[in-house]
Structure 1
Amino acid sequence: MEPLPSHVFPATSKADWLAQVRKELKDEFADESLRWTIDPVAPDNGLTVDAYYTADDLTGLPLATIQEAQHQTNRVGWLNAPEYHITDPASQSVTLRDALTRGADALLLSLPEDVSQTDGNLARLLHGIKLSDTPVYFRLSGSPVPFLNSLRPMAPYQLKGGLLATASVEEIVEATRLTADSPQFRTISIGSHDFHNAGASAVQELAFTLARLADQYKALLAAGLSLDQLAARTLLSVSVGTSYFVEIAKLRALRVLWLRQMATYADTGFPGPLLLAQTSTFYDAAVTPYTNLLRATTEAMAAVIGGCNVLTVHPYDTVLKAPGEFSERIARNVSILLKEESYLDRVADPAAGSYYIETLTHQLAGQAWSLFGQVQAMGGFQTAMETGFVQAEIDRAYQAKVEAVRGGKVLVGVTKFRFDDDTTAEAAAPPAGLPRSTGLPDRRLAAEFEQPYQ
């Protein structure tokens, strides 16, 4: 079939489209009413979203810089890493090995101190798992140094995975030294989960994560680690929420911001950080809990299109109770479906070239960098926390989210399409295992709207 002549469908610009909108609606400002604001508490009065994007919107964007940042680490595919909260090492060892035969590529293990610091418990838990082949990410409640001393006899070299621990500078330096022969084991971890679960906006989550990272890097450089060590050993652990396009852009913007921050130290190419994305518990509901499956699927898809290297999908009943075999299997299969049926692991940067997502990535990075600059001007993240600035900003964002729901924004299964029964009316338990060193509140947006219907 021959293509139609160009005169049948002439090319049109965005300006032509806007002119037609104004003509049809008989209002020279009609296009203004079609815009809306997301992240309304961002420092530059929120992110403005147009109703329509074209290639014209990419003019003037630093596309090469944005897209280069997405290729700093291996971006083709991701590791499916279910999370397990360890309470019984011997019996859960069987569960871990079973997961690895049923689609898991890696593991995220939240360890209490009696497991992480006890050789026998650790050996029972990891029995049959070859740590030089299977990446394992350990979320620790205690010091990483005794843990690594217990771990090394089980895997004397080439560990894969990393540590998610709240540790002192000295402990991080020592952990990096102890794993010098394991370049694929990350010892410097920075998380956004406490910001996210307190209700932060996407801009705040990016800016405060970057500020926390800047404090950490400054201290580690002063303690003797090199820039190359920082770059190669950094793991960024990020929560991914339900705002699909915003979350895609958030992860892409995080890579841009990390690269921009590294450029302040040296004008040299560095391998990018490992990005571990976890589906959000902030947006989960305790009522009509199966709707959390929809949220987790949206969040997981946003995470992989946004470029995560490792993906943890939380079971739909995480905020209700300890997940069971069924909910764990369904969560693990979300990631498998995105690979085996959607083929999202076949493309290095699926969002590249999208008029909307590229624009949104640039906006998020710009506003987050501006807020990050405010924090740095105060003396850094720790000072901003001590003065209450971070807490006040996040509280403002959380209240804006609550007011949006009160104003009619739908929470599926909570404020609309809701089904209450004896099993879903239980009060939600807070998720365990996430580091909460800042003392920020651990919230769920749905909690204020889950009272039983009268």
Structure 2
Amino acid sequence: MTVPPEELRSAADFPPTTRERWRELALGVLRKSGVEAGSPEEALASLTYDGVTIAPLYDASDLPDDPGLPGSAPYVRGARPEGGSWEVRQRHEVADPEAVLADLENGVTSLWLALEPEDLPRVLDRVHLELISITLDAGERTREAAEALFAVAEGKRAAAGRLRGPGESASAGSAGPADGRGGGGPAGERGPGELAGNLGADPLRDPRTAIDLARRCVADLPGLRAVVVDGTPYHDAGGSDAEELGCSVAAGVAALRILTGAGLGVDEAFGQLEFRYAATADQFLTIAKLRAARRLWARVAEVCGAGTSGRGAGQRQHAVTGSAMMTARDPWVNMLRTTLACFAAGTGGADAVTVQPFDARLGLPDAFARRIARNTHALLVEEAGVARVIDPAGGSWYVERLTEELAGKAWEWFQEIERAGGMAAALESGLVAGRLAATWKRRSENIAHRRDPITGVSEFPDLAERVPVRQARPGRAGGVRYAQEFEALRDLADAQESRPKVFLATIGPVSAHTARASFAANLFQSGGIATVTAAPSGPGADPAAVAAAPGVDPGRIAAAFAASGAEVACLCSSDRLYGEHAEAVAAALRQAGARKVWLAGKGEFAGVDANLYAGCDALGVLRTTFDDLGVAR
């Protein structure tokens, strides 16, 4: 045990450091590692899909303007001055009253109901509406779903002996939602059957329904909002963070125009909107995105002359763990992805958060998956204490700069949409679709080359995994999936009578070939292709057997290849041993019947057809291998 000195030195005792001194030291480390660069920023910085530079170091000089105080414009630091936890909002796509009650009895405080209107009375029969918030998601049947919800609420009020008088507000005699902004969640002293939440109307799709429901909410239902401005479809199309933000702001402005054009006041229209965003495992970008969204909307409110207090002040946000990042293969890793996303959403100041169950890509979630989703909130709030601090990321030089730059990129995109005639015109003309498709193309390239790795799919796949079976989801989920191309190849390989395989021709001792053999195995297995090696020098071989084995023998390697039943081979060794033996081993493999000979690493050798290496087109390698093995795609 190390005993600390009696007098601990404070930071003031250390000599001051500078960015220039850091550059000098960092360059020294890089050069020792063989990296030549003019500056550490040049070597270590990266770009987001929006062109925002992620620097390796930030300091106080990177801080933008004063972000203000929590609960005050521009709301970068949060729309709630008092902080506190977020709503735990669970989504239901099947009318299962028992599943709904299980959620509510175990921590869920808000229901997101994607149900048919006729199912709502049965699902909500035993639910205390005054203790939770409800968000509807009924698409073209939004008006019917809203009327069904109103009828349920009226029935509960009648059963409690609390009938509403003519012209009486739904909140008469009650304090309403405690946050003062409406739809604020379970807190507050609402009477039996009193509603809070959102009716899920989309003014761009059905302006008449949105207008009618907004008017009713303003007149009689102050706990409800009528409109959801959903940014997740733009994210799920492969778009970037700034593109999702710009589209959501443009859609929000379009909704304001529709509502105010129908006679609602500016503050009333602002108070009817809730925004929905995707939260991803890229925690810092998610935190910055939610903070930037509030800044952007505050600017819209300023330009429109909206008030700075009341339910329209600040942007009400619902964050949903992103669908695009979820995988069907190795779905257990989704628990890690959604935990990071939920943490980022809460830290970023979301008012409500939905954690998708880890098996969401397999179909309808089971009870265990729903429990894990609920408990993710509980662990972060109750054990990690994430909700105890207002704006936990505030003051971080990195987060503050990222927020500012992301907001700038999103505002530029929003202005481009406005110049095109607004969101409706930009959607109709294909401007939005074209922009999102271009970003998805760039993202797809990075996924294919494994620059954006997907754990359990493009990296560290498990061919022996047993994928859980789930009941099919009603309808078909839209949007792209980052893992979709790799998972399609896995499905294809699994469907074959015998699994496709590649022989790893390991050359030399274990120390020479293990790294590249492991790399090649990982790559081929990401497409469902098994790999076999030559004993005794393959990965995991007995060291004593390896030591007793003779030197590199192309004939022995070729014999092992022929015995394996494989038709494609990949050489795996060090650069030095490639120079000495690659051509001879490749020739022996050809003579043994190899259709294709790969080499793990770089370099051209007679008899070697192609190379695979870090940053290569992994999907291209896999598709070519399927073709070489005669597997129809």
- TM norm structure 2: 0.64
> Residue 328 of structure 1: CA displacement?
0.8
- Paired residue for 1:177, among 196, 208, 215? 215
| Separation (CA, whole Å) in 2 of partners of 1:233 and 1:83 | 21
- Paired residue for 1:201, among 240, 244, 269? 240
For 1:262-302, what per-residue CA distance to the aligned partner results, in whole angstroms no more than 9, with x for missing partners?
Answer: 11111641422321111111011111111111111111111
Change (3 A) 1:433 1:354: farther
| Separation (CA, whole Å) in 1 of partners of 2:121 and 2:48 | 46
Change (3 A) 1:67 1:433: farther
- 1:355-374 map, 5 Å: 355-374=397-416
| Separation (CA, whole Å) in 2 of partners of 1:429 and 1:287 | 16
Deviates more, 1:155-164 or 1:16-25: 16-25
Change (3 A) 1:166 1:430: farther
Aligned 8 A contact 2:363 2:470 in 1: no
Change (3 A) 1:7 1:274: closer
What residue number does 2:47 align with?
38
- Paired residue for 2:85, among 72, 77, 84? 77
What residue number does 1:61 align with?
65
- 1:53-452 map, 5 Å: 53-58=58-63, 60-64=64-68, 68-73=75-80, 75-86=83-94, 88=95, 92-112=96-116, 116=117, 118=118, 121-156=119-154, 157=170, 158-167=194-203, 168-179=206-217, 180-266=219-305, 268-270=307-309, 271-409=313-451, 410-421=453-464, 423-424=466-467, 442-450=479-487, 451-452=489-490
Change (3 A) 1:23 1:37: closer
Q: Which AA in structure 2 matches 1:315?
A: P
| Separation (CA, whole Å) in 1 of partners of 2:221 and 2:427 | 34
> Residue 25 of structure 1: CA displacement?
5.8
| Separation (CA, whole Å) in 2 of partners of 1:412 and 1:395 | 24
Bigger radius of gyration among the two:
2
> Residue 151 of structure 1: CA displacement?
2.2
| Separation (CA, whole Å) in 1 of partners of 2:199 and 2:428 | 26
> Residue 7 of structure 1: CA displacement?
6.5
* RMSD of aligned Cα (Å): 2.6
Unaligned runs of 5+ in 1: 435-440
What residue number does 2:611 align with?
none
> Residue 387 of structure 1: CA displacement?
1.8
| Separation (CA, whole Å) in 1 of partners of 2:361 and 2:374 | 17
- Paired residue for 1:29, among 26, 31, 38? 38
Change (3 A) 1:69 1:432: farther
> Residue 100 of structure 1: CA displacement?
0.8
Partner secondary structure for residue 137 of structure 2: strand
Partner secondary structure for residue 323 of structure 1: coil
Partner secondary structure for residue 187 of structure 1: strand
| Separation (CA, whole Å) in 1 of partners of 2:136 and 2:242 | 28
Higher relative contact order (CA 8 A, sep 6+): 1
2:20 corresponds to 1:12: no
Change (3 A) 1:383 1:13: same
| Separation (CA, whole Å) in 1 of partners of 2:104 and 2:11 | 55
For 1:162-221, what per-residue CA distance to the aligned partner results, in whole angstroms no more than 9, with x for missing partners?
Answer: 122435222112112223333221212100111111100111111111111111111211
| Separation (CA, whole Å) in 1 of partners of 2:376 and 2:11 | 44
Change (3 A) 1:39 1:146: same
| Separation (CA, whole Å) in 1 of partners of 2:375 and 2:10 | 47
Change (3 A) 1:108 1:191: same
For 1:58-101, what per-residue CA distance to the aligned partner results, in whole angstroms no more than 9, with x for missing partners?
Answer: 1x434338874333346421011111112x4xxx1122112111
Deviates more, 1:260-269 or 1:300-309: 260-269
Change (3 A) 1:431 1:363: farther
Unaligned runs of 5+ in 2: 1-5, 155-169, 171-193, 491-527, 530-633
Aligned 8 A contact 1:291 1:412 in 2: yes
> Residue 421 of structure 1: CA displacement?
4.6
For 1:203-241, what per-residue CA distance to the aligned partner results, in whole angstroms no more than 9, with x for missing partners?
Answer: 111111111111111121111111211222211111112
Deviates more, 1:316-325 or 1:400-409: 400-409
| Separation (CA, whole Å) in 2 of partners of 1:420 and 1:22 | 42
Q: Which AA in structure 2 matches 1:199?
A: G
Partner secondary structure for residue 458 of structure 2: coil
| Separation (CA, whole Å) in 2 of partners of 1:430 and 1:97 | 20
Deviates more, 1:361-370 or 1:181-190: 181-190
> Residue 433 of structure 1: CA displacement?
8.4
| Separation (CA, whole Å) in 1 of partners of 2:11 and 2:103 | 55
Partner secondary structure for residue 393 of structure 1: helix
| Separation (CA, whole Å) in 2 of partners of 1:159 and 1:3 | 57
Aligned 8 A contact 1:170 1:223 in 2: no
